[in-house]
Amino acid sequence: MHGEDMTLCASAAPVLYAEQDLLSPPPGGTELPRMPSVVNDLLSASSGEERQRLVRAMLHAIGFEWLGYGTVCQHRSRSLPQSFFTSYGHPAWTRRYFDERYYEVDSRHQDAPCSSLPLLWDIDHLAASVNSVRSTPHRRRFLDDFRDSGIRSGVFFSLASPTRANERTVISLMSSSPNRQWIVDSVLGQALTLALSVHECLAQRSPVLTGKPGTGAGMPRTQQHILNYLIQGRSDKEIAYHLKLSEHTVDYHMRQLRRRFAARNRVQLVNAAIEAAA
């Protein structure tokens, strides 16, 4: 990431968004064969409220109560938040976490394996990790507030971005259970399936241009969906398949998008869209 982009990354507040901000379904339906059924259940939900009920029911069925989902920018061993989806999280803790900048002392970002394998944690594990480094008022306050939130254990992992070298998607499933011993392999498997299904759903529906209000003003929803898939690295054929469009129609919208972003080719279009979303 360029120095100017890194400065923006370090100084910008995270973009918060929720169910009501997600893109509407693309034309022609959303069913995705070869995907776990839960992905199609989430994508085909008739409303954001229904999808929220589905996610919360599935969380409770495997022992969790909350799910946090966001993106972070890795910069000099620090994890700087870029965006956060609020609908499935713990409302009071989410506010506190960002207001107090607790991500600066949250050791899970460093403890989670870079391979995307999940980190199983509990409050005692966090306390031991925090105490292994120099204790500061900020770190002690982080632990105290975490305990007060009622969150006691969970699963935390991150996924590398396909387009930005320094960006990762972070997913955290959280529970009020007092320790991590209950998170056995069968629970972990269900937790990862749910988390990755939510990730697939949000990757398809999240608005691309959230960082600069007005940049996406007037853009047709079909083009927003195409841009989402383009940034994911999908080919025109794959985009046409997912959106139930002809390749000719996708090519037409691609030309419109290149004109909109003053891009001469596909690579420039991706870079311009990512820059606009930064």
> What are the sequence ranges of the domains in the chain?
3-205, 221-277
Write down the pLDDT at residue 33.
61
Question: Got the DSSP string for 153-171?
Answer: EEEEEEEE-SS-TTEEEEE
Picking from 238, 243, 248, the residue whose alpha carbon sits closest to that of residue 223 is: 243
Place of tokens 């929720």: 18
Picking from 66, 103, 70, 65, the residue whose alpha carbon sits closest to that of residue 85 is: 70
Picking from 93, 111, 110, 114, the residue whose alpha carbon sits closest to that of residue 102 is: 93
Q: What are the CA-CA distances from residue 219 to residues 19, 54, 155, 209 (Å)? A: 19, 30, 37, 10
Please report, in tens digits, the pLDDT of each residue of the chain (278 residues total).
444 444 445 445 688 889 988 887 766 555 556 778 899 899 889 899 999 999 999 999 999 999 999 999 877 677 889 889 999 999 999 999 999 999 999 999 989 988 899 999 999 999 988 777 778 999 999 999 999 999 999 999 999 887 677 889 999 999 999 999 999 999 999 999 999 999 999 988 877 644 443 345 457 778 888 888 888 888 999 888 888 888 988 998 898 898 888 889 998 888 887 777 65
Picking from 17, 192, 173, 158, the residue whose alpha carbon sits closest to that of residue 90 is: 173
Write down the pLDDT at residue 256.
86
Fold of 3-205: Beta-Lactamase (3.30.450)
Q: Is 67 left (phi over 0), alpha (psi -120 to 50) or beta?
A: beta
Picking from 8, 7, 2, the residue whose alpha carbon sits closest to that of residue 277 is: 8
Structure tokens at 1: 């990431």
Which residues make Cβ contacts (< 8 Å) with residue 269, sequence separation at least 6? 230, 254, 257, 258, 261, 263
Write down the pLDDT at residue 278.
57
Q: What is the Cα–Cα distance from 180 to 112, expressed in whole angstroms?
A: 15
Q: What is the Cα–Cα distance from 188 to 183, expressed in whole angstroms?
A: 6
pTM: 0.78
Place of tokens 């979303």: 277
| Three-class secondary structure of residue 172 per DSSP | strand
Write down the pLDDT at residue 24.
77
Do 221-277 and 3-205 fall under one CATH topology?
no
Q: What is the Cα–Cα distance from 111 to 79, expressed in whole angstroms?
A: 12
Radius of gyration over alpha carbons of the chain, in Å? 19
Amino acid at the residue 244: K
Write down the pLDDT at residue 32.
57
Q: What is the Cα–Cα distance from 200 to 188, expressed in whole angstroms?
A: 18
First to last CA, the chain: 11
Q: What is the Cα–Cα distance from 118 to 182, expressed in whole angstroms?
A: 15
Q: Does domain 221-277 have CATH number 1.10.10.10?
A: yes
